[in-house]
Structure 1
């Protein structure tokens, strides 16, 4: 192992040991199905906020945001803005009612609100689809990251992340990963912040160099300049901007691994407090990727031209700080990136495993019905192994690109379901099913075209690359229109459930 590689190897090893060590604490506490799926609804606000932030800040945030800023300039600030603002929408409209619903998963909520097994099945399929679409680039990115930073074969990343996630998820479930993710938020913040401060100090000390000062004349001028807004690209650029905003603002509330964390709070008030704290923690973190993007414009613009912008965070410290100092800083960011893969993958595995455990493996396996914890563990294996296997045989399409498609699918399906299910009483099972299928099929086909049909040009490529601006209104309109066409006298269970969603827990309804 070369001297330049060993700090990263040590950092990754420490992250693995710490993750498994903290996860073992949850193993000793987890006994019931509620422990595994929602940590028995006992996670305090600050701990849950740190865990949500650690889970949410995936490789798309840790690596992808800086790479997008390097390639496309300031317009890509909409990504961190949108990823954060999505929690503001959740705070105002969804967090507390969702917790009061008493559900374990999104399919649970849908069935409780609509009393429909069909809608529950559709929701289960969508949770698995969104979870796997999000897990795929994380596993692929882990392989690329460890290959670039440590020189390891690309299969090591997916296999390593999948194995560690399986140990924690099957061992202690939500209790284990809550403690792990809370730690990993602070570690990822440190891993990105410390090198950024050192590199800024170097940049200021060498006189804010431009390409000429560094003796580099081969930098593309369009990369060196901080780009104009996408709207400068005409109607297509304007569409891309607003579609990105729609996907990130509304997609957060539909991501299964985000929603399930709100079921772990003791009550709706704590869920709101957790969301407010998440806004603060995310806002603090997202101040840092633009620093890497801006410094990359000075020290490493060639990465954009070579299509390696996702590696900017990993490569920049050595370019700015030569010698041992750069190696140590690189080791820190490599460890932080690996933590990002672990934390988000764990949350997605929990969300998908919960649905598989209830609706697939929990019903029958090898001719017999499994219990709650056994079904959850078997569901965890399926949830992790399938996307890991696909990642081993598929080339990476870019972390931020694929994660953006997962946001678009979540925004086109579960966002309308949650908003209408919580705030619009006339929603019917037929309307919900029609809207979910419309949003899921539309955004799903767009994702397949984007990932597997390279070079789609013109408006077709634009509309499939960022489908949110047409798929969200279409799914919502179908949900509303079909509900109005199939409207029946309000069922008693709907009235009771809506009262439960909107009544603070402090009020004792049984006493009037």
Structure 2
């Protein structure tokens, strides 16, 4: 992991940076310890005994979903690409409309603990369960790595410490929180961190806008803020835009750390209401990274060419305000950024620990804790051995992968009686090979490959249909393997609970 910035590039004294990071870490651990007092059963650790009410669950989902890509990466992409990057916050939010319409309530009614549980119950196949478990773990690890890269960036430019300190600190705090209280503990942590992240972006943004307004400065530089002068990449093609939107919409349906939260609701109706609340919370949140990206194109344009666009949110308050005000506002956004890494990583580790524990440790509480430790080691090693990528772009690749693998299994498993185990395995394999191959090829070809070969850089437009089509065709060819329990399981998924 290379060091791109130094603490001197941020108008923030190291003491303020240390204080912000320590306060967030300490509050996370203390809330986790509180969760230990009320987490006693296996159900508490896996799904909080299915007692989380919609408002708490919506706040917790917002906490874990709004990752490094949302807190730092969206503003960075807007700084680089202008209006083309606005599809990211739109897609991230609209994906929850897909969840509301097609997945939330049926998935809760399935009674499963994890996505592999659902796959086995729906298709009556241990092999499908194994394949799904493997994909869930891969998706989780791929999603954790950008969080650790974001932590490296934040810690390095706010404290001057080596970049490896950030990922290590996140892993230690997350492990302490997860192994002490499981899902019930993490629910409290993530709900708190959503509101911390929203406050950390909103308060400095309001101060900056008032300051610029008081000085008579133009917020959008006379409407020229979205000219091509600052763009360091080619304009997005129609293909690239459509492919990105497909990845974000369908990818949300396959994120394991998001889906597992619906298992914590008391019933399907509360799962739907949770999703409606999440749509509102995300819509409010994404207003502010957009503001930072627009203001960054005026006040920190050099970050685009310097490869540090993801630091826009961290650097902007110090560019507008001097002295103690700048330090305090920068400390606030630093705290929010660290909360983003912690909350998303916590959700991912909980979902991965649930899967790994059930597959290898008999699903016990002790096994859950061992699995949580294992879930953090691999992505930590990967993060330490790789360079920081553009955060929103790297997370977008994970969305494309989930849209090509787990999403078709869920949608067809919930809404199509004809799905078979052979079809599910074939579709997930095709999606994983095609999308994974495109992502790997883009990385191997180096910087700019995704712009030159957009069909590789944005593969969802052809990999998602390929996965769906393979599942349908193979399922029709193996109709005799349709599980005898399909009608009963589908009836449970689509029958509302009695009030």
Same fold (TM over 0.5): yes
On the 8 A contact 1:71/1:223 being kept in 2, the answer is: no
- Which whole-Å CA distance do the structure 1 matches of 2:143 and 2:78 have between them? 21
Report how many aligned residue pairs link the two structures. 488
Matched, 1:261 2:261: yes
Partner residue in 2 for 1:289: 289
The residue number in structure 2 matching 1:112 is 121
Gaps of 5+ in 1: 214-218, 363-370, 508-512
Work out the CA distance in 2 between the residues paired with 1:298 and 1:202: 15
Q: How far has the Cα of 1:222 moved from its partner?
A: 3.2
Q: Is the aligned partner of 1:381 residue 2:387?
A: no
CA contact 1:8–1:332 (8 Å) conserved in 2: no
Residues 54-89 of structure 1 deviation map (CA, whole Å, 9 limit, x = unaligned): 010001000000010111001211101100000001
Q: 1:410 aligns with which of 374, 386, 402?
A: 402
Say which of 425, 429, 433 aligns to 1:433: 425
Residue 54 in structure 1 maps to residue 63 in structure 2: yes
CA distance in 2, matches of 1:208, 1:466: 38
Question: Aligned equivalents of 1:285 and 1:347: distance in 2?
Answer: 19
1:365 alignment partner in structure 2: none
1:171 aligned partner: 180
Root mean square deviation, CA, Å:
2.2
* 2:429 aligned counterpart, secondary structure: helix
Q: Indicate the residue corresponding to 1:355 in structure 2.
A: 355
Residue 96 (structure 1) aligns with: 105
1:385: Cα distance to partner? 1.1
Look up the match of 1:401.
393
Partner of 1:392 in structure 2?
A: 384
- Does 2:492 align with 1:506? no
**Does structure 2 conserve the Cα–Cα contact (< 8 Å) formed by 1:223 and 1:301?**
no
Query: 1:442 and 1:47 mapped to 2: Cα distance?
Result: 38
Q: Is the 8 A contact 1:97 1:268 kept in 2?
A: yes
Deviations 1:480-505 (A, max 9, x none): 00001111285431111010000011
Are residues 1:8 and 2:17 paired? yes
CA contact (8 A) 1:147 1:154 kept: yes
d(CA) in 1 for partners of 2:434, 2:471: 14
- What residue number does 2:228 align with? 222
Shift of 1:206: 2.4
Provide structure 2 residue ranges, at least 5 long, that are not aligned to the other structure. 1-6
Partner Cα separation in structure 1 for residue 170 and residue 445 of structure 2: 28
Return the offset for 1:212. Answer: 9.8
1:510 alignment partner in structure 2: none
484, 498, 505: which one aligns with 2:476: 484
1:269-280 equivalent positions in 2, closer than 5 A: 269-280=269-280
SS in 2 for 1:286: helix
Residue 224 of structure 1 deviates from its aligned partner by 5.0
Displacement of 1:398 in angstroms is: 2.1
Moved more, 8-17 or 128-137: 8-17
Tell me, in whole angstroms, the C-alpha distance in 2 between the residues paired with 1:172 and 1:357.
15
User: Cα distance 1:221–1:488, how it changes in 2: closer, same or farther (>3 A)?
Assistant: closer
Aligned mates of 2:271, 2:443 — CA distance in 1: 36
Question: C-alpha offsets along residues 466-493 of structure 1, whole Å, 9 cap, x if unaligned?
Answer: 1111110000000000001111285431
Q: Which position in structure 2 is the counterpart of 1:469? A: 461
Structure 1: 4+ residue segments shifted above 6 A = 210-213
What is the CA-CA distance between 1:155 and the residue it aligns to? 0.9
CA distance in 1, matches of 2:221, 2:247: 39
Asked if structure 2 preserves the Cα contact closer than 8 Å seen for 1:84 and 1:279, the reply is: yes
Alignment check: 8 A CA contact 1:209 1:298 kept: no
Task: Identify which of 164, 167, 192 aligns with 1:158.
Answer: 167
Distance 1:288 1:34, change over 3 A: same
The Cα of 1:427 is off from its aligned counterpart by 0.4
The residue number in structure 2 matching 1:450 is 442
| TM-score, length basis structure 2 | 0.94
**2:433 paired with 1:424:** no
TM-superposed CA distance for 1:193, in Å, is 0.2
